[in-house]
Structure 1
Amino acid sequence: MTNLSFFLLFFILLISHTNAGFNVVDYGATPDGETDSSGPFLRTWAAACAAFGQSNIVVPKGRFYVSMGAFHGPCNSSSVNVHVFGSIVGHAVPQKTQTWLVFRYVDGLSIQRGAIDGHGGEIWGCKLERNKDECPTGLTTLSINHCKNVLVNGLTFINSQLFHIAIFASEFVTIQNVKIFAPEDSPNTDGIHVGMSNGITITNSYIKTGDDCISLGPGSTDVLIDRVYCGPGHGISIGSLGKGGDQEEGVQNVTVKSTVFSGTQNGLRIKTWGTNTKGFVSGVTFIDAVMRNVQNPIIIDQNYCPHSHDCPDQSSHVRVSNVKYEGIRGTSATEKAVNFDCSESNPCSGISLKDIKLTYENQAAQSFCKHADGVASGSIIPPSCL
């Protein structure tokens, strides 16, 4: 064999080895929406994860019923790219676990296109009609746990039983061009929840749900939320924080910009429980937001205590500081458009308002401040209470 022939053969083998394709149908998946394809999906993942170079998993057109999927790394592949051209559907009755599709310990992952349907209606119905303790908790649709360098792009999430997307203990995760749909009365169906993670970007997405469109839990740092439409839902929330224990990780370096809220319960919210749990929120910027008939456009609630259980008459020990609001405009569904209800023992400090215009029924709304300190500049409607 000549040197040139050897080189060409080596090059062909290298290309096939570094960009391998894996179709779930080839591993036994059935696109009929009824046959459980969990086993074939897991076998496909195992083969793709074990391959060297870049792996591409293809979920072709059709409806694939997957009862449960736990996709574990670390992988030999430099990246695993999952291309969903059809849809993945879940089971109406959840298993004992709280996660449905979960990726763990993967460095280099992308999931693109397609739809994921959580079939949450039966679970919501139980929670709405009966005591929640009598009902299954339900499943989070997509969980990204202990992962790094992840892209979720162009997916549509429908009717999750619990959270639609949950990111935990991960870094450098980008969620972009996603659509999330659940009814306004569907309980606990947060669009995207982040906790104990850093380097998170959520951009150019459309979220309609029954709970927070986006929620940031303890340990969320270096987060960018950009060009997100929210409504219906409970808004974009930092928290809830300080629910229990002696100490929680703080939330810091968060930017939320170019957002639209329509008919939501809240707009830009920070909420902490009235407990002795220590924590902090610092370095938060809310900029360029449009409110359309939002009940609480700007709110810091440090007396969060649903049903007055375990925390009545207590003062929050989560310290809120250096929070900036700029270019927030639109209409409030209530007279109190700006509400800073801060902790008596840990007052809010470093609050900044600039160029705010929020009206209620074609007139200036009102501001409320309690244990809050800060400054206001530019045009401020309603007048600042800081």
Structure 2
Amino acid sequence: MLCLLPFIADAHIKLFNVAEYGAIADGKEDNSVAFLKAWSDACKWNGSATVLIPKGTYMLKSVIFKGPCNDSITFQIKGVLKAPIDPSLLTDQKWINFRYIDQLNVNGGGTLDGQGSATRRKCKNNANCEILFTTMDFDFITNGHVQNLHSIDSKGGHFIVFGCENMTFTDLTLKSPEHNRNTDGIKIAQTNGINITSVKIGTGDDCVAMISGTKNAWISNVVCGPGHGISVGSLGKNDGETDVEDIVVKNCTFVGTSNGLRIKTWAAPLKKTLNASNFVYEDIVMNSVQNPIVIDQQYCPLHQCDLKEISHVQISNVTYRNIRGSSETDIAVNFNCSKDKPCQKITLDNINLWRYGVRGKGRPLLRNNCFKVEGASYGKQTPPSCIAHRATPLST
């Protein structure tokens, strides 16, 4: 009886190699059908399953890998997946989409090539040419783990996470040309429990963006640059948005980014107050960052807003602790809060920022701006804080 146990265990572990389903690694042939057949069989398998993409280059049109599956499932990318240059071969603004799956693992050390630069050249003189397709979307995933992948030259965002629970992203490299707009690294919405660690992101938009409904996020050991920083928001433009709460950003480095730590909300006539609260930014290094610490409650990137409107997002309980490094501009901390909902319980603890390229005795001090901010600062404050200094921290 004991001799049968290994055989029984192995019977519930199955490998589904896309090459055995007819996938061709020539970088030209569309492999969507082969990939979807392999996924379908793996998802139905009565046990843990792995869909294997072996080494080689595989072109792939838009695909939806849908659950629920019978057990945990791994999508293992050893090779290179290429998106088509022609955006008409993609649908629904998504390239690779995982939906409604519990216990999903995506890994393998391979590469996702969005071919975004080639698509932008193709679309340059065509106003009807769609560009902003996300490389990989995760919709309604529970207990997901995305690890050891490279995503390059995305058309739009690299990864979008929506409606998920308990997701981890680790050991990733995400790269897009700095001039390619709207190429967010990881964008998160309506998700509870996300862990992003040991990730390198260089892109033309936010390295990490947390929008409506993001809760319980832990972001650590992220290197961001180029890009627009790690952002909460934008928030507060549309009715139906939900609160953003309990965010920790720790041990991260920003290199040559337009922003570092940013919270951005629209001045818009919402029907109810939206809350952005309980954030901790700690042990952060800024290297030649244009706007190291920003709260902007009049966010309006195209400058086409009604300046009479005010933001109805309440920002509260935000701590900045042990932030150091250099700024490309003369402003280190810029808090522009809402007239109607002033920022509350904002804490600055040991801030040491200087003008890039000018360090040492006699260097000119930066300055801070504060508008409608309630809180306290303590510890070292370089430049001097525009929030009242106290001997001990505020209780949170």
In the alignment, is residue 48 of structure 1 matched against residue 42 of structure 2? yes
Q: Give deviations 1:80-104, integer Å, cap 9, x for gaps.
A: 1122111111011222411110000
> Counterpart in 1 of 2:84?
91
> Counterpart in 2 of 1:205?
199
Following TM superposition, by how much is the alpha carbon of 1:279 offset from its aligned partner in structure 2, in angstroms?
1.1
> Counterpart in 1 of 2:13?
19
Amino acid at match of 2:316: S
Amino acid at match of 2:234: S
Instruction: State the Cα RMSD in Å.
Output: 1.5
Q: What SS does the corresponding residue of 1:304 show, helix, strand or coil?
A: coil
Q: Distance in 2 between matches of 1:336 and 1:74?
A: 50
> Counterpart in 1 of 2:278?
283
Amino acid at match of 1:27: Y
Q: How many residues align?
A: 376
Amino acid at match of 1:243: K
In the alignment, is residue 371 of structure 1 matched against residue 365 of structure 2? no
Q: What SS does the corresponding residue of 2:251 show, helix, strand or coil?
A: strand
Q: Distance in 1 between matches of 2:264 and 2:62?
A: 33
Amino acid at match of 2:46: F
Following TM superposition, by how much is the alpha carbon of 1:204 offset from its aligned partner in structure 2, in angstroms?
0.3
Q: Distance in 1 between matches of 2:125 and 2:371?
A: 37
In the alignment, is residue 380 of structure 1 matched against residue 381 of structure 2? yes
In the alignment, is residue 224 of structure 1 matched against residue 225 of structure 2? no
Moved more, 213-222 or 89-98: 89-98
Q: What SS does the corresponding residue of 1:364 show, helix, strand or coil?
A: coil
Q: What SS does the corresponding residue of 2:260 show, helix, strand or coil?
A: strand
> Counterpart in 1 of 2:251?
258
Amino acid at match of 1:259: C
Q: What SS does the corresponding residue of 1:270 show, helix, strand or coil?
A: strand
Q: 2:208 aligns with which of 214, 223, 229?
A: 214
Amino acid at match of 1:83: Q
Amino acid at match of 2:61: S
Q: Distance in 1 between matches of 2:256 and 2:121?
A: 23
Q: Do the aligned partners of 1:216 and 1:239 also contact (CA within 8 Å) in 2?
A: yes
Following TM superposition, by how much is the alpha carbon of 1:149 offset from its aligned partner in structure 2, in angstroms?
0.5
Show the 5 A alignment for 1:1-386: 4=1, 8-9=3-4, 11-77=5-71, 79-94=72-87, 95-112=90-107, 113-125=109-121, 134-245=128-239, 247-277=240-270, 278-360=273-355, 361-362=358-359, 363-386=364-387
Following TM superposition, by how much is the alpha carbon of 1:259 offset from its aligned partner in structure 2, in angstroms?
0.4
Q: What SS does the corresponding residue of 1:105 show, helix, strand or coil?
A: strand
Give percent identity, aligned residues only: 39
Following TM superposition, by how much is the alpha carbon of 1:52 offset from its aligned partner in structure 2, in angstroms?
1.4
Q: Do the aligned partners of 1:123 and 1:135 also contact (CA within 8 Å) in 2?
A: no
Q: Distance in 2 between matches of 1:24 and 1:126?
A: 30
Q: Do the aligned partners of 1:273 and 1:311 also contact (CA within 8 Å) in 2?
A: no
1:273/1:135 Cα in 2 relative to 1: closer, same or farther (>3 Å)? farther
1:134/1:336 Cα in 2 relative to 1: closer, same or farther (>3 Å)? farther
Q: Do the aligned partners of 2:245 and 2:276 also contact (CA within 8 Å) in 1?
A: yes
Moved more, 254-263 or 358-367: 358-367
Q: Do the aligned partners of 1:233 and 1:265 also contact (CA within 8 Å) in 2?
A: yes
Q: What SS does the corresponding residue of 2:183 show, helix, strand or coil?
A: coil
Amino acid at match of 1:67: K
Structure 1 segments unaligned to the other structure (5+ residues)? none
Q: Distance in 2 between matches of 1:147 and 1:84?
A: 19
Q: Distance in 1 between matches of 2:152 and 2:131?
A: 18
1:221/1:130 Cα in 2 relative to 1: closer, same or farther (>3 Å)? farther
Amino acid at match of 1:316: S
Amino acid at match of 1:117: D
Moved more, 12-21 or 177-186: 12-21
Amino acid at match of 2:302: H
| TM-score, with structure 1 as normaliser | 0.94
Structure 2 segments unaligned to the other structure (5+ residues)? 388-396
Q: Give deviations 1:282-301, integer Å, cap 9, x for gaps.
A: 00000000001100000000
Q: Distance in 2 between matches of 1:378 and 1:310?
A: 38
Q: What SS does the corresponding residue of 1:173 show, helix, strand or coil?
A: strand
Following TM superposition, by how much is the alpha carbon of 1:365 offset from its aligned partner in structure 2, in angstroms?
0.9
Q: Give deviations 1:83-133, integer Å, cap 9, x for gaps.
A: 211111101122241111000000001111210000101444477x569x6
1:381/1:125 Cα in 2 relative to 1: closer, same or farther (>3 Å)? farther
Q: Distance in 2 between matches of 1:126 and 1:295?
A: 32
| TM-score, with structure 2 as normaliser | 0.92
